[in-house]
Every structure is written in structure tokens, then in C-alpha cells.
Structure 1
Amino acid sequence: MKIERVEALAVRLPFRGTFATSQGTVGSAAEGAEHVVVRLQTDDGTVGWGECRPSRHWSYETHESVCSSINRYFDPALRGHNPFDLAGIDRLMSRAIAPGFTLGQPIARAGVELAVWDLLGKRLGVPVQTLLGGTSQRAITLSWTVVGHEPEAVAGSVEEGRRRGYRNFNFKVGFGATTDRLVARTIAELAPDAFLWADANQAYGLDEAVRASRMLAEFGVAVLEQPLPVNRYTDYPLLRSRSALPIGVDEGLYTPADLLQLVRLQALDVFVIKLCRMGGIRRSRQAIELAQAAGLTCLGSGLTESEIALAACAHLLAAAVIETPNALNGRQFLGAHLASGLAGEGDQVVVPSAPGLGIKVDEQRLAALRVPLSCEP
């Protein structure tokens, strides 16, 4: 059994509303959502599907660069290789495109790796969760991402989440002390029993982050994610010593080795897992096990991935027995999905029991939503 073809397909999905962070808008109805679907086929005709979500407002990887990386470099490098050799596939992708300071092209690599896991599960007749060695947890819990900066908009977003069956909420901060306080207070008043999670997306300096942590603690917020820029390694231990809240880190973590450096520095309390940022399931699982061994809380997160990547996250997080609410918000923001097979009411996602990722890609819808890029074959 050998890999015969790896193909990246660029799509643009309809987007509901506007999703903004302190660093800018990462999704809007006007622009839609740029996704890449990966189709991997072996010489016996087995097909695996993967997905990744690049955004130029969130990462250096773009729609074009992800497709170019896969179609021009990873595809020829992986042809003829055994799909069961996950470590070998990883090495071949590193040789095809050299890493930078840390893992190179992680979002593109994640799309390929998800397709490999889907294919392996199908070939063996078992779900990915079983391949990962954990089957006791059958569902994951989602957190609703609150949007807006004015009281009416924030309240409306919280109420919409509650109507749709969500019990826990995450929200963006870093828009100024007055706005951050207003948003936190509004959410806390409407959801006093919820798990609340604030994400600054690198917006603060050290002293500002300390002040923000104390303000957010007044409203029962449980975690302050990524308050400082990713390269302020030595500031994070100082922040932890002065913060009123546990500190989570997301941006800047691409490999288990990156996480290990921060653990050694005692720089974080919470590991925020973004499967696509870490290059896929294999590295994410290694990092989760490291975080759990270090006594860190683990929270799952994403960037409006559709049902393909959401299924992968469900397998990963359930296998690792992550019971905290996860900010996987594709269902909230996307106006169309590319696959079926994921069940669950409200804020619950049931882990598929069918082989592989357990989803069925709608190839007709996929074709209708494709967009031409010069990097495609």
C-alpha cells in the first residue's frame, strides 16, 4: 500500500457575521472563510480526507501558500511512501520544506496528516480515536465564542449561544481597558455559572496584562489566554507570579519541544491546543501528554474549521480525555459544511464511531465551493 496522490483543494465557505481579535478581523460575511481540503489516495484506491484553515490575519500561512506547499512539494515527496509510516511522512515533509525557527508550514502539514489518519482508520476499519488508544470518552463539549464590543451586541451573542444549547463562553480581549471590562461584565452577568475564557491574542504588555488579569478575575473568568507576544518568553514567568488568573498559551506553540521550553520556564498554567497550528494529530497528542504530565490544564481551540477538522479534534480530545469546554467554533460561524457524520446536540460533539475520521465528504458541495488558485494543479 503506497501513497499515490496528495491533492490540496482550495475552497471558500460562507461566513456568518464578523469574527475579530485584537490583531484584526479573521472572518467576515464579505470575505468568507478560506479553507483547504486535502484528498489523499493510495494505490489500492483508499481515500483519506483532511482539512486546514489558513488565515493571513492569524498566521503567515495563506490560502495560496498552503495549496502550493501541498501540491508542489509534499505531493511529490510523499508519492510511493507507506501511509502507515507517520514518522517517515513527517520527515519527508520536513525535507521538502525546511523548518524555520520551529515547525515549517504546520497548517499545510496538518491538512495532509489528517488525511493520512482518516485513510489509516478506514484501511483498518476503526475510528481514529481507537488508533489513538482512548475510547472511554464519547463526546467533547464546545464553548461559544462571544462577538461584539458593545453591551447589546455582546448580550445578543451570549443569548444566541444559550438558545443553541451552549453553557460556556470564550471571548476576545485586548481592545482597551474600558471595552474589555464592559465585555467581561456583560458576559458574567448573563452567564454567572459558565466557564469563561478570555483570549488577548498577544495584545498586552506585562503590566497591562497584570491589570487585565485582576479585572477579569473580578468577573469570574477562569483563564487568560495569550496575553503577551509569543516571543516574550522571559516575561511569562514574571506575569504568572503577578497574575490573578491562570495563564494560557496558544500562539507560538507548534511542537512538543516548544511547549517543553515554556514548561521548563514555568511560563504557563494552561496549554491551548490548536491541532492545525501543531501540524496535525501526532504532535498535538504528544504535546497533550507532555502538558498533562506537567500538571497543566488543556483546552482545545481552533479557527472556524469545518466538520472535517472538527471530527479530527473530537477524536483527539476525546482520546486524551479532555473534559473542559473547547473553543471549536466552525459550527457557530460557517454557513456551509463539507461533510456529514458528526452528531451531537447543543454544545456536544459525539465522536464518530465509523472508520477513520468517521465523516463523509460531500464532493458535490466541495466542487461548488472551490475557488481557483494559481498554485493548484
Structure 2
Amino acid sequence: MTSQAFTIKNVQAFCYRYPLATPVVTSFGRMLSRPAVFVRAEDTDGVVGWGEVWCNFPSTGAEHRARLVNEVLAPAAVGVVIDQPTELFDKLTSGTSVLALQSGEAGPFAQSIAGIDLAIWDLYARRQKTALWQALGGARSQIKVYASGINPTGSRGMAEAALVRGHRALKLKVGFAPETDRANLSALRDLVGAGLLAADVNQAWSVEQAIELAPRWQEFGLAWLEEPVRADRPWQEWETLAANASVPLAAGENIASRAGFTQALTGDVLSVVQPDIAKWGGLSVCVDIARDIIRSGKTFCPHYLGGGIGLLASAHLLAGVGGAGLLEVDANDNPLRDRLCGPVRDVRDGMITLGDEPGLGIEPDLASIEQYRTA
């Protein structure tokens, strides 16, 4: 796509926190609130784009990431002239690499840069008067979705509500007491019938536990078992697990390097690969990674468990690169997601349809969530 150089005029982050009546439960902890950091970028022509910074854990880090954007990264972005969004991503990444190393905060810096990158891509597509999914090369606006984040308690009720909302595929949080996991898997398999059912262990098991427990779940016909062991375990352990698990494996949300994804695409260890564009790489890196995933014969399913802007950007990425993957849509209560995700809310028979409006196709109504703003 041809482009015309533009100048960054302003970058600003807005931080929000929605208190939960029912915590989101994972094997490594509980979320008592849902944070979100949204990023607004504007060029000197008055064109505006929106992005989102990953900030789930610990949720108290959301305000810190907003300050990283506003006090460190925004001043480095303002006045920069670029032709392509990747140019600003590279400039911010290289320009803060020593600072990220010195502070020991590679993750928060990468997440904050990713959020800015998403905003610049939205701005870029709006300048082209093209929907983001089309700017990324997409041919079809319709994608498959699945309901994720289903808690170990009240899981049947959450799943039933997701099915009523139009979902036809489910993912359950596991990694708790084996009898609890089995009972919940049985209930969800009964509900979803022949539809897709996946399980997310959230890195809770050792390799030995995974080899013992995973084969026992063959009866549930899992589409994938997500992060059964720590993402940073030696690759040889993942290979051993894949050879003995008897279920397809998934990972990717905690891979934060090109080399890591190159390794993830070798051999038959992972069947499903799940980069998170708001956590590392933004669209500038993850578009190519998504295409590599598809070319490797694996399934690209973007990971997402945050607010609505990042979720919508993830939908545009999936529609842009194609493939047989599904978009992750959190089933837990979160107005910071629902009020800003546009067409992702309208799930019909397990699918959503993106529009042809420029960029992400929405103008975020921040006034509707002002009561939750913290920074």
C-alpha cells in the first residue's frame, strides 16, 4: 500500500480500572479488577488512531504503564516523521532498549510500545481511508471467535451465557484440583456438543504432571491444551510433553522475541500459536509472525484478555492474515471491553463480521467509562 509521510503530533495514554463483583480466577492468581490502558495518537493533519497496552498482571501495573507512555515514550514519538508504522515501532524499541535493560522492565516497555504501535496502525489505515483488516491484506471480513476465561467456579453458567450470546466454541480455565477440572470439562463438553472446546492451564503444571494428566482428558476431544507448563521451560521439555500429551498444545502469549516464535514454529510441538499484539510486538512485528504461523501449517489464534480496543485490533489482524484460527473473546464481565470493541460484541453462530469503515472502524466513547478512570 502506498503511503504519504506524516508527523506524530500527540500520543496520550488513559488508564481505567473496573472493579469486579466476581473475580477472574486463574491457576496463578485472581483478578479483582479489570484494568485497561488505552492510547490515543494524533498526527499533524488531525487524524487520530487508537491502541491498547497489555496490563493485566499485576493489575496495579496499569497506571505505571500509562506513565511510561505519557512520560517516556510519548515525548520520544512527538515530532517524528514516518511513512510506515513500523518505523516508529523500531525507533521507540531501539531508543529505549538500554533504559528497559537498566530498569529491568523489558516487559512494561514492550507492552507500552505495542500499545502505541496499535494506535499508529489505526491512524495509518484511517489516513488510507481503508479498514485496518483490509490494509493488512485481508480478503474476508468475517472471522470465527471463541469464548474464553471461563472460571473454575460457576463455569457451566458462564458457558451457557456465552452460548446464548452466540458463541459456539469455549475455553475453560484449568490447573486446579483434578476432580474440579474433569467435572468442568465434562459439563462444558456436554453444553457445546461437537463444538470446539479448549483448556488453559496457565502454566500451572510441571512436565511430569502434564504427562500424567493430559492423556486422561482424551475423552473430552480438546482442540488444544494451552500453556500446560511454564512458557520459559527448556524447549526439550516441551518436546517431551508433545510426544506424550496425546492432545494438541498451544502457547505464544508469553513469547516475547522473534527467536522465540521461530523456535515455536519448528517441529510438531505446538499446534496452535497465540501471539498477543498488545503484550509484545504490536502489529509491526506480529503481522509477519501470524503469516509465518499459517505458512508453517499451525493455527494462528491471537491471544487477548483485555479491553475493547486491543480486542478489536486483534480481530482485524486475524481477518487481515486469514487462516483457520479463532479470535479469543473473554467471557467475563468487563465494560472496558464491551463498550469499545465495536462489532466483536455481535457474535452470531460463532462468527463476527468487521465493517469497512477506516481503521478500527470505531470512535471510542471514553465518556461512557469515565467513572472508571484512574490516570
By the TM > 0.5 criterion, same fold? yes
Structure 1 residue 268: deviation in Å? 1.9
Structure 1 residue 366: deviation in Å? 4.6
Aligned CA distance change for structure 1 residues 283 and 15 (closer, same or farther; 3 Å): farther
Where in structure 2 are the equivalents of 1:222-261 lying within 5 Å?
222-233=223-234, 234-261=236-263
Q: Extract unaligned runs of 5+ from structure 1.
A: 373-377
Match of 1:50 in 2: 51
Match of 1:17 in 2: 22
Render the CA deviation track for 1:334-376: whole Å, top value 9, x for unaligned: 135453742634443221210111111114225443213xxxx
Report which of the two has the higher share of helix.
2
**Does the residue aligned with 2:15 lie in a helix, a strand or coil?**
strand
Match of 1:68 in 2: 67
**Any conservation in 2 of the 1:249–1:272 contact (CA below 8 Å)?**
yes
Structure 1 residue 243: deviation in Å? 1.3
Pick one of 268, 271, 277 that aligns with 1:269. 271
**Any conservation in 1 of the 2:150–2:332 contact (CA below 8 Å)?**
no
Q: Distance in 2 between matches of 1:340 and 1:194?
A: 25
**Any conservation in 1 of the 2:273–2:300 contact (CA below 8 Å)?**
yes
**Does the residue aligned with 1:327 lie in a helix, a strand or coil?**
strand
Amino acid at match of 2:24: F
Structure 1 residue 24: deviation in Å? 0.8
Match of 2:164 in 1: 163
Structure 1 residue 242: deviation in Å? 0.9
Render the CA deviation track for 1:49-106: whole Å, top value 9, x for unaligned: 1123402248xx9212311221111111111112433232122212342255977623
**Does the residue aligned with 1:90 lie in a helix, a strand or coil?**
helix
Aligned CA distance change for structure 1 residues 340 and 19 (closer, same or farther; 3 Å): closer
Pick one of 256, 267, 282 that aligns with 1:280. 282
Structure 1 residue 112: deviation in Å? 0.5
Aligned CA distance change for structure 1 residues 121 and 87 (closer, same or farther; 3 Å): closer
**Any conservation in 1 of the 2:169–2:197 contact (CA below 8 Å)?**
yes
**Any conservation in 1 of the 2:144–2:351 contact (CA below 8 Å)?**
yes
Match of 1:149 in 2: 152
Aligned CA distance change for structure 1 residues 191 and 367 (closer, same or farther; 3 Å): closer
Match of 1:122 in 2: 126
**Any conservation in 1 of the 2:151–2:173 contact (CA below 8 Å)?**
no
Aligned-residue sequence identity (percent) comes to 25
Match of 1:357 in 2: 360
Q: Distance in 1 between matches of 2:63 and 2:173?
A: 28
**Any conservation in 2 of the 1:146–1:157 contact (CA below 8 Å)?**
no
Structure 1 residue 265: deviation in Å? 6.4
Matched, 1:4 2:9: yes
**Any conservation in 1 of the 2:277–2:314 contact (CA below 8 Å)?**
yes
Match of 1:375 in 2: none
**Any conservation in 2 of the 1:83–1:116 contact (CA below 8 Å)?**
no
TM-score by length of 1: 0.88
Moved more, 282-291 or 80-89: 80-89
Match of 2:3 in 1: none
Pick one of 364, 368, 372 that aligns with 1:369. 372
Amino acid at match of 1:169: L
Structure 1 residue 118: deviation in Å? 1.1
Aligned CA distance change for structure 1 residues 103 and 256 (closer, same or farther; 3 Å): farther
Q: Distance in 2 between matches of 1:194 and 1:34?
A: 31
Q: Distance in 2 between matches of 1:87 and 1:155?
A: 43
Structural RMSD (CA): 2.3
Q: Extract unaligned runs of 5+ from structure 2.
A: 1-5
